[in-house]
Amino acid sequence: MGRREKVKKDGEADDFESDSDEGGAPKVIKNAVDLQRLKLDKLMAKPDKPVHIPDQRKEKKFSEPPEFIRNVMGSSAGAGSGEFHIYRHIRRREYARQQHLDSLSEKVCRPESHSRQ
């Protein structure tokens, strides 16, 4: 499960490459702690170098629910096999939209509950 990292000849390592020991053998990353330690050591080796901090993720924008759904046959009309997939897709989109609205309402209610305590 350990991952061996390659080292450039000039001693500088790429983003996911490890620096070698004085012995010349590359370090073996055995777990997440070793990887994090390696990245922190690399950052602290050059404190004047700027670090890229990614922007915050944008919230997903869901479309408004349709007023009514066209071209969906009822069961008495003998719906074909393709209609089931249309129904399933519409249902999946609606469930995702409802879940997003629930998470937004939790975010709004959460600060209010903390302020009351």
Residue 88: predicted pLDDT: 85
18-75 confidence digits (pLDDT tens): 445 555 677 788 899 999 999 899 889 988 988 888 898 887 777 777 777 676 665 5
Q: For the beta carbon of residue 18, count every other beta carbon within 10 angstroms.
A: 23
59-79 confidence digits (pLDDT tens): 777 777 777 767 666 555 566
C-alpha span between 2 and 31 (Å, rounded) = 7
Is the pTM higher than 0.75? The answer reads no
Q: For the beta carbon of residue 37, count every other beta carbon within 10 angstroms.
A: 14
Using a 10 angstrom Cβ sphere, with 0-12 exposed, 13-18 middle and 19 or more buried, the burial of residue 34 is middle
80-93 confidence digits (pLDDT tens): 777 778 788 888 98
Using an 8 Å Cβ cutoff, are 20 and 9 in contact? Answer: no
